[in-house]
Amino acid sequence: MLALGRRLKIRTLVHVAGEPIPFFWPMRTFIHHNPLYGLEHLPFEQAVAMGERLFRARGYLSRALQQRHLAAGKLDRTALERQVADFLASQPDIAGLDLQRLLMTLLTEIETPVGAPPALADAVDIHAALNGFALPSREIGGAALAVQVGADMLPGRPLHAIVDMLFGTEIGATLDELVIKSCLDFFDEGQSVWQMPGREKGLFAAWSAVARRNLRLFIRGLHIKRILAVDDTPEGIISHVMDELGVPEDDWMNHFTCELTRLHGWAGFIRWRAGAKHYHWARHYPADLVDYLAIRLVLGLALLREHAERKGTPAKLAELAHFVESNPAEAYLRREFHGGHVLPEMAHAVEDAIAARRPARIARLLPQYLARKREHEARHHAAALRRLATCAGMADAPQHLVPADVASLTDMLARFEREEGGIWLEALEAHYLGRLLHGLDLTWPTPREKRPFAQVMFCIDVRSERIRRHLEKVGDYQTFGIAGFFGVPVSFIGLEKGSETHLCPVVASPKNVVLELAIARSAADEAFVSTLEQVFHELKASVLSPFITVEAIGLLFGLDMFGKSLAPLAYARWRQRLHPDKPDSRLLLDKLSREQAESIIRSLQRALIVKAVGRELGIQREAITDEMIRELRETALGNHAGATGFARAFRLDPEAETRFIECLQKVYRINRGYAQIQLERLGRIGFTLDEQVHFVGQALRSIGLVDGFSRFVLLAGHGSTSENNPYESALDCGACGGNHGITNARVLAQIANKPAVRARLREQGIAIPDDSWFVPAFHNTTTDELRVYDLDLLPPSHLVYTERLNNGLQAASRLCAAERMVTLEEAVAASGEHADPASAYRLARRNAMDWSQVRPEWGLARNAAFVIGRRHVTGQLDLEGRVFLHSYDYRCDPRGRLLENILAGPLVVGQWINMEHYFSAVDNAHYGSGSKAYHNIAGRFGVMTGNLSDLRTGLPAQTVLKDGAPYHEPLRLLTVIEAPIAHARAAIEGVVKIRNLVHNGWLRMAVVDPETHVAHVFEDGAWRQRPLHAAGGAVEEKELAL
């Protein structure tokens, strides 16, 4: 057994090694997040480069795609030229070449990158190729070849990956497959009918118990048992395997990171789960990265040993090093062939030579191969240079270069192509920034003569922008943007739900519980349909029942299939009629007094005793009295000793009575300890009056709504509805933790309508008139429907206006659908710029019901900016549903605290959403989750591609791509704050997270000063000012001396 200190050290190493891996939340509550969150401490460019290494993923769009953006006018060419000039400022001049023109040509006219300098051919060779000379003869020694092989044997790279590269084995793929199967077994959340045994002992313990008896692994020649016999703990096993592999301890952390990032979806899920203390499955079946890594290493070592026995491949690092040193030629050719670098025309010869493993044959082939490869590289590179020079109008220039200049040019081009992604990105951003700043209106509106008909608070979500615009257009509506949880973090227990759902951004943890209670519910509401559905579901999930019931009930499933496929809208309407309506409910929002809480617990305990008496002893309620129940309760709680009246009445002997009391205490949990726990839980329910006043006041002040309240103040939470869509919650409200926002809207509305709260707010200077009523509403972003809730609470004086309210909301919904359907449906787009609102609205609702629809809505795709300021600033702009809009009036926030809150909460969530979209669009195969068409649900918490893959993280192709090209324009979130520069800068510097994001280039930040009408943009590490409304890129800039 390993010493405690050593075990702790290994645990620490594993946890630090796992830090670059982003969390993966269960998809029931999809959380948008930055896939490089663990690298946010680094500047953006460095993090992207690190991401490329760790996750084998691209961090920028390809040049070809950016050239399409340039052709479509989405890119600022001037910015591109400026970036190229900045790059060249630190590069040596090359005589005879106009480097600025050359690089601009490379960027804008050449689709294929020139590439890194060749591995074998040097500048002299390229020079010869450029001039059409024969290449000078040169011998390449074994040491040089070993260096080339060594370049792929970086410290920390797992041994199995190097063996795969040199011997064409597929140990890595097999290992991944075995690890995924183990994870699927352990982490299953009810999808499998047969569960893995012993899960409560933890991942490693449960897996090792099964693996020791796994006949399939044994038959494959994997002697897991021998490895597991060394130690019982995962830390001990990790140490043993690393020693067996011969990995120096200094490299362990790199090695661990490489192993963990190989299946970063699973590792991210385990990492999140280990820290999610409230997560039911984690509490019952614990697991962490140490367990996971131990399993990976055991299987990896077993596979390496099996291959070593069968194929003679190295099973230790030292053996591998020895092989490369003693057989550099063979190692080189192996790397060429299995690493995908081989010259195609010689692939067959190389494969035959390395398969024969005869040194003489390899020695014969090698010089021939090296000569041809060197020639191929030199000519290929020379051709690329010549093509570039010709396009740039300098066709003859490369031939006149001396070899030293060729070397400089080759190196410089390679450096430039490494930095090219960032250059394109900044040019794309510069274009959008210029357009957005140009359209902002910083004037002050003339005061209104009368209050608006209604004020509507929407989530800051980009999808709200469209419907706000249309609502403002169709009537006298004033709209505001606020984070969709309305500033009230809630832990919600819904009707008939036993667990809490956190309705707030994941960066916050709610302290208060809100309970939903049905107003009335009768036994008749127990729907027959629901019971039937339950039976159907169990029949489907069972192993044997599908075989024996398919003839009997298969037709019913067929009906379901035809209905959903052929007439989704009508069929969904018919099915909804079968279900009983959800009962009206109220939210328990006020704190309970101690007496109330104790009374609730007493009542609960009494109900349980009645149930226990019936179930355990078969005695009906009518046979016992309240006094007997009270006495049994007191006895179970230890407040009463001796025989009970109940025992006497039913002639229970003392032993049977004691047994029953113990049953009450242990099974039904009627005991003091549990009563105390229940009391504490009840203490979390509701908000104190102070909290209620604080939440309402803060929400109103943060959006600048402190006077001029309308008759209706709508709080519109949002969510989505779609069928057969594991990503449904990705379309829900991010500020509500990936849930619908209606509950938070109901909570705030219910609080804001309380006279006691309004009285206290009036003392704080926020006078809400008595005829103002806060009404919760729900914005369905898939259908564009705006539905008003809790109308039964509306004062009678308001009822006459509801028709007008509903009309206005519906008109806005239809107009919004008409605008949106053009982007979703090719047929609508082809029919003209705008679709008929009524049919577009119907089409949107159909999309929500259609189970074959892979793209029910675009969600947050194309998000580009986050504006914090008055609605007046953006009110005249069509922002195309691309901008998060947070209402803010700096005049209501003299100390900047509200702005800091906006930056620390909503903006951080916005940045996560933005980065998730950015990386999913840039490399959907690695940072995104690929096509939905191939997805399968894994364990009820994630999706895999096909039947076995890493958990797919990020967004599916259908969310960010259209016809294979990015629909989402990958830009870093451009944040614009409307406030005096000093005020805004103080807030930015005051929120460390935001300051770091801005300084490291993860967020673009601009401040527009309504007092000076000057924009301040943070660029290249400093604030630069530029006048607003300057045309395009021809803006005068000067660095601020701040």
Q: What is the rounded CA–CA span in Å between residue 735 and residue 21?
A: 23
Residue 150: count of CB within 10 angstroms of its CB: 15
The answer to the question of residue 112 lying near other proteins (CB under 8 A) is yes
Query: Helices 63-71 and 99-109: crossing angle, nearest 10°?
Result: 90
- Strand order of the β-sheet with 501-503 is 501-503, 490-493, 513-518, 585-588
Region binding other proteins by CB under 8 A among candidate stretches 343-351, 386-394, 507-515, 765-773? 343-351
Question: Whole-angstrom Cα distance, residue 387 to residue 110?
Answer: 9
CB of 332 to other proteins, least distance (A): 17
The strand pair at 961-962 and 965-966 is best described as: antiparallel
Stretch that binds other proteins, among 345-353, 523-531, 703-711, 759-767 (CB under 8 A): 345-353
Which of residues 348, 358, 511, 621 is near other proteins by CB under 8 A? Answer: 348
Q: Which of 787, 864, 1028, 891 is nearest to 432 (CA)?
A: 864
> Which residue blocks in 618-715 are alpha helix, DSSP H?
626-636, 645-649, 654-666, 672-683, 689-702
The span from the CA of 888 to the CA of 886, in Å, is 6
Is 127 exposed, middle or buried, given 0-12, 13-18 or 19+ CB atoms closer than 10 A?
A: buried
Residue in the block written with tokens 């609702």: 845
Task: For residue 116, state whether it binds other proteins (rule: CB under 8 A).
Answer: no
Interacting residues with other proteins between 614 and 633 (CB under 8 A): none
Q: Which residues pair with 1019 in a beta bridge?
A: 1022
Stretch of 149-157, 342-350, 739-747, 857-865 contacting other proteins, by CB under 8 A = 342-350
Of the candidate spans 21-29, 340-348, 822-830, 902-910, the one that interacts with other proteins by CB under 8 A turns out to be 340-348
Written as six digits, the tokens of 706 are 């402190």
Candidates 116-124, 249-257, 346-354, 686-694; binding stretch for other proteins (CB under 8 A): 346-354
If the CB atoms of residues 791 and 925 are measured against other proteins, the closer one turns out to be: 925
Taking the C-alpha atoms of residue 545 and residue 538, their distance in angstroms, rounded to an integer, is 9
Which is nearer to other proteins, 802 or 931 (by Cβ)? Answer: 931
Taking the CB of residue 28, how many other CB atoms lie within 10 A of it?
Answer: 15
Of the pair 351, 516, the CB lying nearest other proteins is at 351
User: Which residue stretch of 93-101, 170-178, 339-347, 631-639 sits at the interface with other proteins (rule: CB under 8 A)?
Assistant: 339-347
Q: Give alpha helix (H) positions in 684-789.
A: 689-702, 742-752, 755-763
| Beta-carbon contacts of residue 613 (< 8 Å; ≥ 6 apart) | 619, 621, 624, 632, 646
Q: Could you tell me whether strands 477-482 and 773-780 are parallel, antiparallel, or unpaired per DSSP bridges?
A: unpaired
Closer CB to other proteins, 337 or 660, in the complex: 337
Contact region with other proteins (CB under 8 A), list: 185-193, 317-325, 337-345, 444-452: 337-345
Does position 342 bind other proteins by CB under 8 A?
yes
* Contact map string, positions 916 to 945, toward other proteins, x by CB under 8 A: ---------x--------------------
- Comparing CB distances to other proteins, the nearer of 344 and 673 is 344
Q: Which of 132, 141, 340, 618 binds other proteins (CB under 8 A)?
A: 340
* Residue selected from 65, 210, 343, 600 as contacting other proteins according to rule CB under 8 A: 343
- In terms of CB distance, is 340 or 673 closer to other proteins? 340
Contact 845, 714 (CB under 8 A): no
Binding mask 4-43 for other proteins (x = CB under 8 A): ----------------------------------------
Q: Which is nearer to other proteins, 341 or 497 (CB)?
A: 341
| Nearest approach, Cβ of residue 945 and other proteins (Å) | 13
By the rule CB under 8 A, 526 interacts with other proteins: no
Residue 111, interface with other proteins (CB under 8 A)?
yes
* DSSP states along 403-449: HHHHHHHHHHHHHHHHHHHHHHHHHHHHHHHHHHHHH---SPPPPPS
Query: Which strand (E) or helix (H) includes residue 290?
Result: helix 289-311
CB neighbour class for 73 (10 Å; exposed up to 12, middle 13-18, buried from 19): exposed
**What's the closest the beta carbon of residue 173 comes to other proteins, in angstroms?**
12
Amino acid at 80: L
Question: What per-residue string of b and e applies to 407-436 under the rule 16 or more CB within 10 Å gives b?
Answer: bbbbebbeebbeebbbbbbbbbbbbbbbeb
The one among 45, 52, 251, 351 contacting other proteins by CB under 8 A: 351
Can you tell me the distance from the alpha carbon of 290 to that of 18, in angstroms, rounded to the nearest whole number?
A: 10
Closer to other proteins at the Cβ: 344 or 796? 344
Residue number with CB closer to other proteins (264 or 296): 264
Please identify, using beta-carbon distances, which residue of 64 and 623 lies nearer to other proteins.
64
Residue 58 or 127 with smaller CB distance to other proteins: 58
Among 344, 618, 642, 796, contact with other proteins (rule: CB under 8 A): 344
- Partners of 1027 in the β-ladder: 1014
What is the length of the chain?
A: 1042
Beta bridge partners of 938: 942
Whichever of 111 and 878 has its CB closer to other proteins, that residue is: 111
- Contact present, 920 and 927 (Cβ < 8 Å): yes
Residue in 139, 345, 770, 833 binding other proteins, rule: CB under 8 A: 345
Specify the residue, 332 or 486, whose C-beta has the smaller distance to other proteins.
Answer: 332
DSSP-derived letter for residue 902 is H
Q: Which element (helix H / strand E) includes 868?
A: strand 865-869
Choosing from 151, 347, 383, 982, the residue that interacts with other proteins (CB under 8 A) is 347
Instruction: Give how many residues touch other proteins by CB under 8 A.
Output: 13
Q: Does 64 sit near other proteins (CB under 8 A)?
A: yes
Query: CA-to-CA distance for 706 and 927, rounded, in angstroms?
Result: 43
Q: Does 370 bind other proteins (CB under 8 A)?
A: no
Please say whether the beta carbons of 853 and 845 come within 8 A.
Answer: no
Q: Which is nearer to other proteins, 347 or 541 (CB)?
A: 347
Per CB under 8 A, the segment of 312-320, 344-352, 710-718, 742-750 that binds other proteins is 344-352
Q: Candidates 228-236, 336-344, 492-500, 595-603 — which segment interacts with other proteins by CB under 8 A?
A: 336-344
In the complex, the smallest distance separating the C-beta of residue 62 from other proteins, rounded to whole angstroms, is 8
Binding site for other proteins (CB under 8 A): 62, 64, 111-112, 340, 342-345, 347-348, 351, 925
